Amino acid sequence: SVNPDLASERQTASFSVEKLTAWLDGGAEHTRLRRAVVEAIERDPVFSIENQYFQSQNERYEAAVRKAVHLQKKMQEMGWTDDGPELKYIYRALSGDLAFLLHRIFIRSISVLGSDKQIAKWIPLATQYQLIGSYAQTELGHVFDIATQEFVLNTPNISAMKWWPGDMGRSATHTVVFAQLYINGKCYGVHPFIVQIRSLQDHSLCPGITAGDIGPKMNFEHTDNGYLMLQNVRVPRENMLSKFCEVQPDGTYVRRGSQKINYFTMTTVRISLISDEVVIPLMKACTIAIRYSVVRRQSKLKPGEQEAKILDYQTQQEKLLPQLAAAYAFYFISDYLQELFNRGYREIQRKNFDMLPELHAFSSGFKAMVTQHSTSAVEICLRACGGHGYSLLSGLPSLYTKIVASCLYEGENTILLLQTARFLIKCFMAASTGQPVPPSVTYLAAVTPEKCPAKNKLDFLSPDIYTEAYQHMAARLISSTAAKLQDLIQSGVKKHDAWNQCTVQLAQAAKAHCHYITVKNFAETVEKLETQPGIQKIMKHLCDLFALHGIFSNAGVFLHDGYVSGAQMDMVTASYLDLLAVIRKDAVPLVDAFDFTDKTLNSALGSYDGQVYQRLYEWAQKSPTNKQMSPAYERYLKPLLHKTLSKL
Amino acid sequence: SVNPDLASERQTASFSVEKLTAWLDGGAEHTRLRRAVVEAIERDPVFSIENQYFQSQNERYEAAVRKAVHLQKKMQEMGWTDDGPELKYIYRALSGDLAFLLHRIFIRSISVLGSDKQIAKWIPLATQYQLIGSYAQTELGHVFDIATQEFVLNTPNISAMKWWPGDMGRSATHTVVFAQLYINGKCYGVHPFIVQIRSLQDHSLCPGITAGDIGPKMNFEHTDNGYLMLQNVRVPRENMLSKFCEVQPDGTYVRRGSQKINYFTMTTVRISLISDEVVIPLMKACTIAIRYSVVRRQSKLKPGEQEAKILDYQTQQEKLLPQLAAAYAFYFISDYLQELFNRGYREIQRKNFDMLPELHAFSSGFKAMVTQHSTSAVEICLRACGGHGYSLLSGLPSLYTKIVASCLYEGENTILLLQTARFLIKCFMAASTGQPVPPSVTYLAAVTPEKCPAKNKLDFLSPDIYTEAYQHMAARLISSTAAKLQDLIQSGVKKHDAWNQCTVQLAQAAKAHCHYITVKNFAETVEKLETQPGIQKIMKHLCDLFALHGIFSNAGVFLHDGYVSGAQMDMVTASYLDLLAVIRKDAVPLVDAFDFTDKTLNSALGSYDGQVYQRLYEWAQKSPTNKQMSPAYERYLKPLLHKTLSKL
């Protein structure tokens, strides 16, 4: 039975949850397919994550391998294909708790960079798990030895040891290593090689290989992140992936075509991780925290009444509802980026590489902005559940410890923001001298009013008003930082020093740019919803909330040049706080629309029926800490406690 | 041998690390005692935390019990007393990874609230661990049964089950339960009772008791946080703690003296946790991240040079150095609060309770502000170490997962901030009508200039200038929220609704107040350092950095009413960024001065010698994931990989 406090929230929804879910999925037929895939996965006991919170690192690794091997059979059985729409639903159902994700990148890199012959040799073995690959970008140098027709690989010292590649610690038999290629003392830049690291016979390490598991981590216990050192490891000439370049037997280096496509592959990884590794966990955290916040009652809002649902407190709304708005905002920006990249990929296939700098800047900046914002958001959700959020059984700690990694992998966020900033500064310089710039940054040359025209708090519910404020703010931060950079250089500071002295502000400017594009895209998404007025209305509220929350919490950058006045900031605050109370009413239906099953959420606080306390109690019974009398009692406590028997 | 990059940082210190350490400790004699205690603890193998990162929840609990029992012997052996100065050094050396902390609160509550007879009966048993106590504040009602001279306790339903008390899950034989007392249908408010929950004979649960361990958590695996339900549990009349009130055999209720002292006990817990559970972990995180940031080199700052230490990047400085300044700021405010509370306690012993509201407001607000700020700071330190920060072996994940709990226990932070806000609003009202207010809030009635008088960026290095800016800002937030509250009430909104509609701003105002006091206290601490000019100079830089970082990152509240202009904010930014480069030079000596041993830090990234990569590699070998071939290989991989043997 559903907790009555939670049930009552669903009776007053201002829109159809089913319609919103279908729209988010891109149509009801997608929802049906997704649900069928999720159901098939959840019915299969091999994929159960029920005991996950009680497992050791060893147990989680073993379960992840078992699931990966089983999934391959399951996919054949169900007729699901590797390039079909099912894959992302499978991943969603399994929460990514699966081995061999780096193995997939191993396969992808061979497919993209290998010759036809190499593809024919390696890909069938890899897809059948008849070898397990990993992927390592290192600082190594590879020397070609003409006499033996081999590349010789060496890790120069322990600080150059490769650390972290997934599937490398215990599973992998092979890895793609990217490293500098040297022939006769001349360096030809970074190239990819297939290196065998473990015996196919008995899984022992190959000669010259030092490898193992890096040990316990904050999360990713299911993955055997590994280390790798190479000492005089010899790799046959034909193991250099050679679609775009080759070393001939006599040591002649031949290049064919462009290598730029390499970077594009990494760029797409960044884009796909936003949806799979960031937006979905954020949606889950919002679902758990919001459902719990209408079940949990504490203190009285009005004297004499029963204790209030904690979501009825303004402070609780102010914690959770902006995170809910951000989940929607990032879901939409993720779609937008995916479309942009599909378009870019089509251009690249036509050998038009013009979009590459813009795509690279987008993937870097948004990866950084979305992962950082979402990590904070998940932490807020966890803390908003008080003590119970801190129990692993809430599901929130593991969402947090996993999402925080997204700030670190596939490019550290600050480095990525500075890459975006470099692109923005370049575009700003070009735009100010009238040169053409990519469409996403034409705003840098646009003329906006010097003062925000809003006259009352309702004006700030106009997307034109707030989008323009964001645009003005982003353009100002970019232009003022560009000016500081130029001033420093003109005053004699060397270019690289000047750049370093501006990096705090450059990173801020890059974030502001991404924030502006996210607000603009949200507003445009809402506008296109005119055929579904019920959904459009609530999405408009969320869009307003996302935008005003951003102004409220970054007030300084809007007030700085007087574009927004102190009095206008009070209007923003008033509208922002009003919106909380409006969206509060639909908070539960808005998370229900994400359509997570209880099994996927795996949360004692967040399930659909809201039976929080019953579930916490039942799940705690399953903990190994409740399975036996602790040896600590026999060893340390019993002798002491027995002394008391005669005294009490 | 010390890593040369780290060694060179120590050669250029602008001050004596040893002198700074001694000053922080309160004198060289304290440093000597601390080091002696730490050494004695670290020499004893029972207290080793070497394997902590590889242990299960069961193993950590057992180790914590073992250590607690052993510590008692050790203290006798060493002549360390429970109320001596050694206890906080012991706790620091053990990183709090010790069982029976709630048992200590059990003891404290009996000492404070029990009659002489009760103290004589229970305290000797408890101090010898001949019973293990816990502590539970519940929503229960206790009914007094005159016929049997017993209190009858019942947990009405599962949602009222007590959840979280430490030492309760597996260890405790007794607990102090706070609950409503009913006699003949009349409620007499909250009272404390000693309840036995487990047999002293065989540790089985007593009749009517449901109790157990709540299962896995984000951290605190060493503690058996438990749950408790009571069904018709009968407690003898003499188990109600009766220093301040008693139920006589005929059911007559007698009150003696004030109960206010109860709250004061909880208040002191909040104050002591700031130093033990928050400031020390923050100092550790800074030590680890800053040492690592001079060992780790990445990319080139100048073309043609070797790769740069990552701490030479402005963005890395901007991540870490403000956290270092905050560690110092909070260390000083923690001292300040401790002194204030000692003074308060002396007054209370003289039956003067006047300071209680101020002390309560202080403990609440600072607990919330310092825990929240420090939790973010530790997270920043973790993320600033990139991938390696994410490894448990860095020590940073466990610091984070532990410190985040401090935001949740001993009062949820938002609730605490609103209690401080209530006090501030009351004082503001009093001050504006000329009534006397406690000294810490007289500033609410002070007249400050309407504009910040700073003329150039150097002016912002004047403590008068920035302290006044903080004061102005805090007073403005409090007065404007008080005005909003009054407006709402005057416009007919009911008082409790009006309060709820202001809570987001009230919490912000309370934080601003605490921030102001922290800046002011830091500036005053620096001023008093005139006899030690070397230390004073670097402390002044840190104070400036703490203050300007706060203005830079909360620019909106300073710009809002024009007190600081946009042009002045640019000066703040310039001075702030300049300071980063100045403090950068002393960053390593500034963390060395915290004087943590390598064993206490337990970090592969942060040890004194900076041998990061060697240690990461050696420690990874100890992981259970590297101790054996995984069963996953035999079960799932071998059959697949063997198929490839004939093919490659």
Q: Which of A420-434, A489-503, B336-350, B479-493 has the weakest average pLDDT?
A: B336-350
From chain B, the residues in CB contact with A388 under 8 A are 163
The minimum CA-CA distance between B30 and chain A, rounded to whole Å, is 33
Is A127 annotated in a binding site? The answer is: no
pLDDT in tens, A585-637: 999 999 999 999 999 999 999 999 999 999 999 999 999 999 988 899 999 99
Mention the CATH class of domain B101-256: mainly beta
Nearest to A390 among B66, B170, B405 (CB): B405
Is the pLDDT at A264 greater than 80, yes or no?
no
How far does B330 lie from chain A, in Å, by closest CA?
22
What pLDDT digit, counting tens, does each position of B507-534 carry? 999 999 999 999 999 999 999 999 999 9
- Is the pLDDT at A259 greater than 70? The verdict is no
A374/B113: higher pLDDT: A374
- The angle that helices A533-553 and A566-584 make with each other, rounded to 10 degrees, is 140
Per-residue pLDDT, B573: 98
Mutation for B interface: A504, A579, A642, most B CBs within 10 A: A504
What was the pLDDT predicted at A596? 98
DSSP 8-state class, residue A634: I
Please give the share of chain B, as a percent, with pLDDT higher than 70: 99
Of A69, A412, A500, the CB nearest to B314: A500
Q: Which of A130, A315, A316 sits opposite B641 (nearest CB)?
A: A130
The candidate with the shortest Cα–Cα distance to B319, out of A278, A415, A445, is A415
Inter-chain CB proximity A224 and B625 less than 8 Å: yes
pLDDT > 90 fraction of chain B, expressed in percent and rounded: 84
Residue partners of B275: CB distance under 8 A and separation at least 6: B88, B331, B334, B338
Please write the tens of the pLDDT for every residue from B104-161: 999 988 988 899 999 999 999 999 999 999 999 876 788 999 999 999 999 988 888 9
Interatomic CA distance for residues B79 and B604, integer angstroms:
34
Averaged confidence pLDDT in chain B:
94
pLDDT of amino acid B248: 94
For residue B558, give every residue at least 6 positions away whose Cβ sits within 8 Å of its Cβ, in sequence order, or none.
A556, B469, B473, B551, B564, B569
Pairs of CB atoms within 8 A across A/B: 347
- The ipTM is 0.96
Q: What is the amino acid identity at position A455?
A: K
Is residue B349 within a helix (H) or strand (E), and if so which, with residue range? helix B314-349
Residue A266's pLDDT band (boundaries 50, 70, 90)? confident
pLDDT at B263 over 80: no
pLDDT tens-digit series, residues B450-464: 999 999 999 999 999
Which residues lie closer than 8 Å to B206 by C-beta, 6 or more apart? B196, B197, B198, B199, B233
- Beta pairing partners, A174: A133, A196
Q: For residue A647, list chain B residues with Cβ-Cβ distance below 8 A.
A: 125, 130
| pLDDT above 90: residue B596 | yes
pLDDT reading at B266 higher than 80: no
The answer to whether the Cα torsion of A592, A598, A602, A603 is positive or negative is positive
Chain A residues with CB inside 8 Å of B507's CB?
A: 315
Cross-chain residue pair B125–A61, CB shorter than 8 Å: no
Which tokens hold the place of A141?
A: 């140098």
State the pTM of this model: 0.97
In this structure, the dihedral spanned by the alpha carbons of residues A601, A606, A609 and A615, taken in order and rounded to 10 degrees, is 90
Tokens at residue B227, please? Answer: 């749950």
Residue listed under structure tokens 């390598």: B598
Q: Which two tokens stand for residue A341?
A: 């990249």
Q: Which residues of A touch B505 (CB under 8 A)?
A: 573
| pLDDT, tens digit (0-9, with 9 covering 90-100), for A398-431 | 999 999 999 999 889 999 999 999 999 999 999 9
For residue A139, pLDDT beyond 70: no
A65, A496, A626 member nearest B636 (Cβ): A65
**pLDDT at residue B84, rounded to an integer:** 84
Chain A residues lying within 8 Å of B319, measured CB to CB: 414
| Residue pair B602/B52 in contact by the 8 Å Cβ criterion | yes
Average pLDDT, chain A: 94
The confidence score (pLDDT) of residue B304 equals 84
- Where does the pLDDT of residue A96 fall: very low under 50, low under 70, confident under 90, or very high at 90 and above? confident
In Å, how far is A529's CA from the nearest CA of chain B?
32
Under the banding of pLDDT at 50, 70 and 90, the label for residue A79 is very high
- Lowest mean pLDDT: which of A103-117, A504-518, B344-358, B471-485? B344-358
- Is the pLDDT confidence value at B466 over 70? yes
Q: Do A408 and B387 touch (CB under 8 A)?
A: yes
Decide: A412 and A363 in contact? Cβ < 8 Å: no
Segment A180-196 shows an average pLDDT of 92
The most confident of the ranges A305-314, B261-270, B348-357 is A305-314
Q: d(Cα B34, Cα B89) in Å, to the nearest integer?
A: 6
- pLDDT tier at B353, thresholds 50, 70, 90: confident
Can you say which residues of B are annotated as belonging to the binding site for FAD? Answer: 138, 166
Q: Summarize the confidence of residues A156-162 as an average pLDDT.
A: 88
Phi, psi for B185 (deg, rounded to 5) = 80, -5
Dihedral of the CA atoms B604, B605, B608, B613 (nearest 10)?
70
**Chain A residue at shortest CA distance from B397:** A218
| Interchain pair B314, A407: CB under 8 A | no
Give the domain ranges of chain A: 101-256
For the ranges A135-144, A156-165, B199-208, B351-360, the one whose mean pLDDT is highest: B199-208
Out of B131, B312, B632, closest to residue A62 by CB: B632
Whether residue A69 and residue B637 make contact (CB cut-off 8 A), yes or no, is yes
Which residue intervals of A385-461 are DSSP H helices?
386-390, 396-403, 413-432
SS3 track for A40-83: HHHHCHHHCCCCHHHCCHHHHHHHHHHHHHHHHHHHHHHCCCCC
Mean pLDDT to the nearest integer, B582-597: 98
pLDDT at B317 over 90: yes
Give the residue from chain B lying closest to A65, CA to CA. B632
Which residues of B are known catalytic residues? Answer: 410
pLDDT by residue (tens digit) across A328-369?
999 999 999 999 999 988 888 787 888 888 999 999 999 999
What is the predicted pLDDT for the residue at B628?
86
Q: What percent of chain A has pLDDT over 70?
A: 99
